[in-house]
Amino acid sequence: MTSTNYAPILPALPPGQDADTFFRSARRPNVNIACESCRKSKSRESYIYPFCDGVRPKCSACVKKGRTSCVYSERRDAANSATELVELLQSLPEDRALELLKGLREKGDVNSVLSEFRGTPLATGRVHPNIESELKAKYPNAYPPLEQIVPSVLAASNLLKSDFSVSSSGEESNIDRSTATPIDVDSAVSHFRLQLPISQEPDHFDTRLRDLRIGFWTEIGVTNEFAAQVISLYLRTDHPLLGLFDPDLFITDLINQKSGFCSRFLVHSLMYLGCQMYSAFDKSASKLTQDFSQEAERLWEVSRLQDSYLTMAGAVLLSLSLMGGGRDHGVLKYAKEAAEMGIRLGLFEDGAADTRLDIDQFEKEKIASYYAAWGTFNWKTQPGSGGPMVLPKVPIPGDQNLTAEAAPISRTASTVGEALIGKTFPALCNFWRIIHGALWIYYPGVDGPPERFKLDVAENKFRELITWTSFLPSCLLRRKDSPHHVAVFQYVSGTIVCIWFHAAVLDIFRPFIKEQAKERPRLKTFSAQDTSPNAVFAASVNQLKRLIVDYRTNYETSAYSILWHTGLLYLANAMLEDGEDPQTRLYFLLCVYGYERLKRPYRISRVIVQGLLSMMLRDTDMSSKEARKIMDDLGEGGWDKVTKEVDEKIRATFMVDLNLADKDPERARVENMAEEFENMALFQDFLNRDKMEM
């Protein structure tokens, strides 16, 4: 008997339910835009999974099916875009509305401009189209809106020219020689004095330095005024970033010729670094660097026999000075010994450490110990400074968040030093403490999380960093009259995040960058449509571009402080990694000529540029002729002098090729990549010759 195919009947209604009400409530809600996964699903799947309900960041269908990606493709017609534009103009504050109109005039693409403003809190709750707009909306200190950099203007500026060509234009005749610091005609600092008003800063960092008698501390033949200028330059420029010692206690004993908080070793280490910096103004200072270097290393052999906070500080300064001078063989040694000395003094969290710190100490000695501990920790935590170390177990000097029990120091004993050094150093201590929790990114040998959890841990570390920027003291927000350490470390108009912050972000997410969009993982704690590590990386690169243009344009310290070169190195690498950026060449040269400005005070800058040019020849179509011309510009004695210095083995063991560092760390080092320059140039010549013959 054949079966009869009957039409299927609907199930019985629940008791008390009206048919019209029941089926009306079960109807799928209308959504304007379905996610791409639901669009592609077969209709039969709708019997198992609900249709797309438009919920973001992940719709219910994708949640139930366990899909890792739920992406919405915005489909807006011209009418919708126009309506959205009017709504935004009505709801945004006046300054943001004017910014929107300005962007519309410059770019001409309505959807492109709207995408940058959908992240604003007043944009009626729309989902951020990308993580950069979400970061700009929620963390404006770290990711502020950026002024557009016109490529043609940047290309024609002095930022992409050598100092020799700038100083040869005849402009140097207008330099005001009334400034306290003498400036050579061919100094990289000279063009800042042409375009900026003469600084009204006092001649000395501290008026007590007028009474300095340097002959008590050294037999090297320098005048009291010269020594005061050099010490002032360091204390004003780099010391707020390095800490290492309380400046008030140091100056007091320096002037009064006492050895409680000043020592011959510390003075010679400081003068070694200070003379490097001062040579940017006066090349005759470079002749003294060797004298102070040799004497500092000689004094170290005596000072190292007795542990002290002053010796720790001097060792870190000597480490930094040797790095800038291209004598990298001692950089790691002195930094390591400073850290070991701190452990023996009981300054760090180490079970085997001496507990002498707990013995009754005078308050001033406690202050000195805090600066030495955190200054050493910060320097050792920086990538390439010799590896990880334990956290200090002493308070951060000047940290306003400490309780009275944690920092039992009288205010009269500490406020003078804090006023001199500012609030930069305490903020930096907290910054490096956060970075310390992610050392597994920098050092493969350090115990890290399991592979499957690494991105989650990296995202959490990024969250810590951007939260840290939200609580910075207002005095660290950069203004037009901001001092150097605010310019390097923090923001323009209170919003641009520091070079070191963005370099850290690039390091955190570099291991997770994927070329193919479909392979890119997503961050879990952000709501934007594109939350890939690639997107965060790109957002920080954009900030670095603006930071470096502004810093090189406006601050003469870009010609004599080595501490900001991290931004040059990281931006140059980022531009080479992104082969699709049409401005790769422009920003790469911005970084190269940034190093060129540092060539006189820091020999190592020349070798870094040679390493970067090797990478440029390898990865792009730059000609060997152009690369050699840049090297000619770099050496005051021309190409021959530069190659001679490389032959003399300027040591630079830190990484220059950041992308290669994980795969082949030895080859990625500055000195090794620099040695490949000539081979790369010859290979490029060979390729060009073949093209011409064809």
pLDDT in tens, 476-501: 665 555 555 554 444 333 333 479 99
Residue type, 236: R
pLDDT at 21 over 60: no
Asked if residue 506 is part of any domain, the answer here is: no
Q: Which residue has the higher pLDDT, 34 or 669?
A: 669
User: Are 144 and 82 part of one and the same domain?
Assistant: yes
Average pLDDT over residues 132-151: 88
Q: At what angle do helices 677-693 and 604-619 cross, to 10 degrees?
A: 30
Using CA atoms, how far apart are residues 132 and 134, in angstroms rounded to an integer? 5
The answer to which of 168-172, 572-576, 669-673 has the lowest mean pLDDT is: 168-172
Residue where one domain finishes, among candidates 12, 39, 65: 65
350 DSSP 8-state letter: -
User: Are 119 and 265 part of one and the same domain?
Assistant: no
User: Are 119 and 252 part of one and the same domain?
Assistant: no
pLDDT at 627 over 80: yes
Asked if residue 685 is part of any domain, the answer here is: yes
The answer to which of 52-56, 234-238, 303-307, 660-664 has the lowest mean pLDDT is: 52-56
H, E, C per residue of 481-510: CCCHHHHHHCCHHHCCCCHHHHHHHHHHHH
Q: Which residue has the higher pLDDT, 305 or 5?
A: 305
| Residue pair 163/597 in contact by the 8 Å Cβ criterion | yes
pLDDT at 308 over 60: yes
- Residue listed under structure tokens 């013959």: 693
For 42-53, what is each residue's pLDDT tens digit?
433 333 334 577
**Both tokens of residue 654?**
């830190």
pLDDT at 403 over 50: no
User: Are 320 and 375 part of one and the same domain?
Assistant: yes
* 89 confidence band (pLDDT: 50, 70, 90): confident
Using CA atoms, how far apart are residues 226 and 127, in angstroms rounded to an integer? 59
Residue where one domain finishes, among candidates 65, 86, 117: 65
Average pLDDT over residues 656-672: 89
Asked if residue 393 is part of any domain, the answer here is: yes
pLDDT at 256: 97
Using CA atoms, how far apart are residues 75 and 510, in angstroms rounded to an integer? 32
Residue where one domain finishes, among candidates 108, 136, 152: 152
**What percent of the chain is predicted at pLDDT more than 90?**
40
Q: Residue 221 is part of which domain span?
A: 205-421
Q: Which residue has the higher pLDDT, 488 or 691?
A: 691
User: Are 217 and 298 part of one and the same domain?
Assistant: yes
Nearest CA to 602 among 322, 363, 248, 353?
A: 322
Dihedral (Cα; 238, 239, 243, 247), 10-degree rounding: 180
CA 302, 306, 309: angle at the middle one, nearest 5?
110
Asked if residue 277 is part of any domain, the answer here is: yes
User: Are 114 and 231 part of one and the same domain?
Assistant: no
The pair phi, psi for residue 442, each rounded to 5°, is -90, -35
User: Are 100 and 233 part of one and the same domain?
Assistant: no
pLDDT at 514: 85
Asked if residue 245 is part of any domain, the answer here is: yes
Q: Which residue has the higher pLDDT, 234 or 413?
A: 234
User: Are 90 and 58 part of one and the same domain?
Assistant: no
* 260 confidence band (pLDDT: 50, 70, 90): very high
Does residue 57 have a cis peptide bond before it, meaning omega lies within 30 degrees of 0? yes
Q: How many CB atoms lie within 10 A of CB 233?
A: 25
Using CA atoms, how far apart are residues 224 and 633, in angstroms rounded to an integer? 35
H, E, C per residue of 356-387: HHHCCCCHHHHHHHHHHHHHHHHHHHCCCCCC
Asked if residue 523 is part of any domain, the answer here is: no
pLDDT at 455: 94
CB contact set of 501 (below 8 Å; sequence gap of 6+): 142, 431, 465, 469
User: Are 117 and 59 part of one and the same domain?
Assistant: no
Residue type, 79: A
User: Are 136 and 249 part of one and the same domain?
Assistant: no
User: Are 148 and 215 part of one and the same domain?
Assistant: no
For 318-358, what is each residue's pLDDT tens digit?
999 999 998 766 788 899 999 999 999 999 976 454 445 44
User: Are 291 and 393 part of one and the same domain?
Assistant: yes
Give me the count of residues in the chain: 694
Nearest CA to 146 among 106, 178, 186?
A: 106
Mean residue pLDDT across the chain: 78
Our count of domains for the chain comes to 4
| Residue pair 546/149 in contact by the 8 Å Cβ criterion | yes
* 190 confidence band (pLDDT: 50, 70, 90): low
| Residue pair 360/330 in contact by the 8 Å Cβ criterion | no
Q: How buried is 667 (Cβ within 10 angstroms: 0-12 exposed, 13-18 middle, 19+ buried)? A: middle
Asked if residue 451 is part of any domain, the answer here is: no
Using CA atoms, how far apart are residues 668 and 663, in angstroms rounded to an integer? 9
Asked if residue 520 is part of any domain, the answer here is: no
CB contact set of 135 (below 8 Å; sequence gap of 6+): 142, 143, 466, 536, 539
pLDDT at 77 over 60: no
